[in-house]
Structure 1
Amino acid sequence: MKLLPRTASVLALLTAAACATTGGNDAERRFKADLTTLASDAYEGREAGTRGYDLAVDYVVAQFRQMGVEPAGEDGYLQDVPLRRAYRGAPGTALATFEGPDEDLTLTDREDFLLDAPSLSDPGAEDAIATAEGGVVFAGYGIDAPSLGIDSYAGIDAAGKVVLLLQGAPDGLPSEEAAHFQSTTTKIAAAAARGASAVLVLGSAAEETPEMRARMARYADMPANTFAGRDAGHEDVVTGHLSGSAAMRLFEAAGEDLDAAATPDEAGRIAAIDLGGTMTLRAEGRFENYTAPNVVGMIEGSDPELKGEYVVLSAHLDHVGIDDGEHAKGADVIHNGAMDNASGIATMLEAARRFTTDEERPRRSVLFVAVTAEEKGLLGSEYFASNPTVPQGAMVADVNLDMPILMHDFTDVIAFGAQHSTLQDIVAEAAEGMDVTLAPDPVPEMVLFVRSDHYSFVKEGVPSVFLFLGFSNGGEQSFRNFMSTHYHQVSDSPRLPIRYDVGARFAELNYRIAKAIANADERPEWNRGDFFGDLYAGDEAAVGAD
């Protein structure tokens, strides 16, 4: 492909977008222009940190300027995110030994164990070494949840210890809470809060097939995606994975049996065990540092008392880029990301246009945030939510726009997250006004509540909602066909049978939700007793709190 200079390319693409479509109403034409432009080959799949992503940034900035949305980043519309690829050290450089009560072990790097590259907050750091030495404790699933009656650390002291944890979460938890607790990030944070020096998650000996070992070897050479400072609260904690067979040997060396230890009692509890002995760990890492910006625009509120509060509309701008594997000559290698997530950005831009053409400005201010690196682990939204360009605590709600699959005329939507707060009633009223019903989550096993950018705002205590098109009126067929055939494939392109009229209608619904939040007398509140509200915002932020 012949590449134009960045500025010339953007100007050409903006001109093409302005003349892209005929037919349909204005909103439908604008939606199609935005989506087909961002999902064109010229944007090269929009991977964060690439030229194609930079072109997408320029496009969104140009649209914000054109519609009169004010800059609200740190540098105009932009907020640079200090992204990082963290690579493990060369094979054999990591160390893991155990001096047990019954036996001493020296474990083999990348066969018995795999340590993560260390974390450092310095955005300019190029390498790091981390070490840990201490006694060894086993803490089941590593859950600290008094509200659910679970304390995996009961009876042991984890301070200064190497903590061994099971993968996953116990049976019987609600799907969203289970997804939260089975996250390795959650497990590490809980152990670090108790003073752990290291956390190793245990594999299963039954899964140690040759194919699994080959996948592990490939995984060991892949970088972890993060941003500098992401793990600032526990940078000194060594983390990694211990194979199931190595874990069994370690337990035996400590005079214990892993299978027995990991089996729940009649009450469903797994008892914590102090294994004694001393474990020594050493990890090395090297870093590739780069930046990719979030794009932040604002419409200032009109109410002198409320304009200092902000309703956020978020959508991720990035996708997965160009496939650099081996392909036949002339094969399509660009992942255009039409549904994922040019459709979400087009929704956000159209909602912004609706706000800018309203006769009256909203009472609260509205932020439009196109976030980077969602595909690398919700990094851009996590960075913005924890380092907002507005005062911390001033964001009252997030309305997230991610991958609406626009191939059927929707009659229902799933409002992920709304049930946790007073947003439920706001969303229901807006939907009813457009003859749309709210449906329960049809795929709870996918735990979508914790898999998109709104969850970054939830973790900062901000009530959030993420609308997904429902399964009625052909929605289930559209969803399952897209996920099985086009998700993260080169076929997710404007060649799909996209309903741009549906896209414009979806944008209208999200605009109405955001406008209702912005104009309400009171900011949204978490429901009293809600697990996520209590966890991240505290009781004082709940409905009915004194």
Structure 2
Amino acid sequence: MKNSFFFLVFFCAQILNAQILNVSADSLIKHVNFLAGAECKGRLPGDIGYDKAIKYSIDYFKYLGLTGLNDSWLQTFPLETNIIDDADVVIKIGSEKKVLKHGYEFSVRGYSGSGKINSKIVFCGYGADLPNYSDYKGVDVKNKIAMVFKANPPFIPNLPQYSIRQAADNAYRHGAKGIIFISQPNQKNPQKPIGSMMHGPGPMHADFPQVQIEVEMAEKIMQDAGYSLSDLQSEIDSKHEPKSICTNSKAYIFVKATYNPNGETSNVISVLQGNDDVLKDEYVIIFAHLDHVGFIGDHMYYPGATDNASGSAAIYELARVLSLEKQNIKRSIMFVLFSSEEKGLDGSEYFVNNLPVPKEKIYAAFNMDCIGYGDTLKAGNGLSCPRLWQIALEEAAKENFIVSKDTWKGGGADLTPFYKAGIDGLYFVNTGAHEYLHLPTDKPETINKDIFSKMVKWIANILYRVANE
């Protein structure tokens, strides 16, 4: 009889756990609509749009009755910032001029310099300039515009990770006045012009415009010069020799940017205090990056609905549903919104290198990135943390959620600094989530409301269990 009683108590507790965490899909969409809307204008660190997203976050956490950490909601750190105030690109092939559409037919690299150019286009292969291989050998780019593949030469082994800044610097040192990046035409799915803050190592040239155009336009430029861009790539890749060509086409490129090498930005930190006398000093951390890739002046902005207004909205909703059960939660839960993930995990790296609580007090860490679109729930880093992975699978089974069994080890996105620091965690992302990645089409109306709410419900149950085990 005694055993039956304890089983009944345990069973009821499990049922309660499954029932109390009611996630609101409407609330999630409401948050996404604000973060991906015109007021936040692409949530670019260093711009007022990101500051508005910060204020929205803090106001909501205060509304829920959560607290900041150590008398502050913000963890501020230095950040090199660049704001694209205006830009235009016009391509002239023969007698025809084509004004390119902002965000669709061209994008501006996040750390582009300013300038106004009207010059001939020179195709320079991969834009590499190495001791034993140079795409600038035998071709004059002085006062012209270099057009290069946005990739390392695949036939040269042991090269460092591709760097936009290094590629731009190669062209700059050879006298070019600007650079056009293009995808490789022979890729399975050549990348469209995307908004991006990634730049890699290398010097910043504040007077050197950097844009990306569609590979289809680049193909037309080369066809007018009597070449096939696809054939040129094949020839370079097979012969391991440069094939750089001065075309007959010209480009007008205008970029106005505001560069600040000494800027700053902030992570947002909020805490739901646990209620166990001992375990409340341990923390379960749930996080997502708040930033995105900004805008091109007043012409357009990148909404970043799935990437990562969805993860940020999930932070708000998880804070809401868990705060309703705060009397039943043993460990403290820390809700963190990182800045500058898009530039290279800057916010999460700063957080891990400047932990606001002792590392040994961090019980688990969970990342959410691109969870508003896709077809199947997924959690990464499960091979590094089989205990948490098993909990995730069990919680999915309780809700009859279909979950991808494909996981990995090594962190991923903002979880990577935690993994490197030896902190257990999982990275939540949907399969097929990146169809609109860094494109102006990553809008709230593309959000899959069903899979979004299921993902957040799944994570809520995992958090509740881990905070109480």
TM-score (norm 1): 0.50
Alignment correspondent of 1:428? 393
Q: Is the 8 A contact 1:298 1:365 kept in 2?
A: yes
Residue by residue over 1:190-210, the C-alpha shift from the partner in whole angstroms, topping out at 9 and shown as x without a partner, is xxxxxxxxxxxx99xxxx99x
Q: State the distance in 2 between where 1:396 and 1:343 align.
A: 25
Q: State the distance in 1 between where 2:200 and 2:39 align.
A: 25
Alpha-carbon offset, residue 349 of structure 1? 1.1
Q: Is the 8 A contact 1:355 1:361 kept in 2?
A: no
When residues 438 and 53 of structure 1 are mapped into structure 2, their CA distance, relative to the original with a 3 A threshold, is same
Q: Is the 8 A contact 2:43 2:49 kept in 1?
A: yes
Q: Which amino acid aligns with 2:283?
A: Y
Q: State the distance in 1 between where 2:23 and 2:339 align.
A: 28
Alpha-carbon offset, residue 316 of structure 1? 0.3
Q: Which amino acid aligns with 1:515?
A: Y
TM-score (norm 2): 0.57
Query: Which of these residues, 361, 379, 382, is aligned with residue 394 of structure 1?
Result: 361
When residues 514 and 216 of structure 1 are mapped into structure 2, their CA distance, relative to the original with a 3 A threshold, is farther
Q: Is the 8 A contact 1:418 1:427 kept in 2?
A: no
Matched ranges for 1:182-261 at <5 A: none
Q: State the distance in 2 between where 1:70 and 1:359 align.
A: 13
SS in 1 for 2:287: strand
| 2:313 is the counterpart of 1:313 | no
Q: Which moved more, 1:367-376 or 1:486-495?
A: 486-495
Alignment correspondent of 1:518? 467
When residues 428 and 290 of structure 1 are mapped into structure 2, their CA distance, relative to the original with a 3 A threshold, is same
Alignment correspondent of 2:43? 46
Alpha-carbon offset, residue 80 of structure 1? 0.4
Q: Is the 8 A contact 2:32 2:305 kept in 1?
A: yes
The percentage of counterpart residues that share the same residue type is 29
Q: State the distance in 2 between where 1:367 and 1:39 align.
A: 24
Alignment correspondent of 1:383? 350
Alpha-carbon offset, residue 354 of structure 1? 1.1
Residue by residue over 1:148-202, the C-alpha shift from the partner in whole angstroms, topping out at 9 and shown as x without a partner, is xxxxxxxxxxxxxxxxx9526xxxxxxxxxxxxx8699xxxxxxxxxxxxxxxx9
SS in 1 for 2:51: helix
Q: Is the 8 A contact 2:46 2:81 kept in 1?
A: no
When residues 223 and 491 of structure 1 are mapped into structure 2, their CA distance, relative to the original with a 3 A threshold, is closer
When residues 372 and 359 of structure 1 are mapped into structure 2, their CA distance, relative to the original with a 3 A threshold, is closer
When residues 69 and 416 of structure 1 are mapped into structure 2, their CA distance, relative to the original with a 3 A threshold, is same
Query: Which of these residues, 83, 89, 100, is aligned with residue 79 of structure 2?
Result: 83
SS in 2 for 1:303: coil
When residues 214 and 467 of structure 1 are mapped into structure 2, their CA distance, relative to the original with a 3 A threshold, is farther
Query: Which of these residues, 65, 70, 77, is aligned with residue 68 of structure 1?
Result: 65
Q: Which amino acid aligns with 2:269?
A: V
Matched ranges for 1:105-504 at <5 A: 111-112=129-130, 167=158, 288-324=261-297, 333-358=300-325, 360-406=327-373, 408=375, 410=376, 413-421=377-385, 422-441=387-406, 450-470=411-431, 479=432, 483-484=434-435, 486-496=436-446, 498-504=447-453
When residues 491 and 290 of structure 1 are mapped into structure 2, their CA distance, relative to the original with a 3 A threshold, is same
Residue by residue over 1:183-242, the C-alpha shift from the partner in whole angstroms, topping out at 9 and shown as x without a partner, is 699xxxxxxxxxxxxxxxx99xxxx99xx99899679xx99579xxxxxxxxxxxxxxxx
Q: Is the 8 A contact 1:423 1:465 kept in 2?
A: yes
Q: State the distance in 1 between where 2:176 and 2:329 align.
A: 56
Q: State the distance in 2 between where 1:459 and 1:385 align.
A: 9
| 2:461 is the counterpart of 1:508 | no
SS in 2 for 1:483: coil
Q: Which runs of 5+ in 1 are unaligned?
A: 1-24, 89-109, 114-164, 169-181, 186-201, 227-285, 325-329, 471-478, 521-546
Q: State the distance in 1 between where 2:302 and 2:405 align.
A: 31
Alignment correspondent of 1:127? none
When residues 218 and 450 of structure 1 are mapped into structure 2, their CA distance, relative to the original with a 3 A threshold, is farther
When residues 225 and 184 of structure 1 are mapped into structure 2, their CA distance, relative to the original with a 3 A threshold, is closer
Q: Which amino acid aligns with 1:419?
A: L
When residues 215 and 380 of structure 1 are mapped into structure 2, their CA distance, relative to the original with a 3 A threshold, is farther
Q: Which amino acid aligns with 2:442?
A: D
Q: Which amino acid aligns with 1:55?
A: K
Q: State the distance in 2 between where 1:318 and 1:388 align.
A: 20
Q: State the distance in 2 between where 1:62 and 1:302 align.
A: 24
Residue by residue over 1:20-65, the C-alpha shift from the partner in whole angstroms, topping out at 9 and shown as x without a partner, is xxxxx97122111111111111111001111000000000101101
Q: Is the 8 A contact 2:372 2:449 kept in 1?
A: no
Q: State the distance in 2 between where 1:214 and 1:430 align.
A: 57
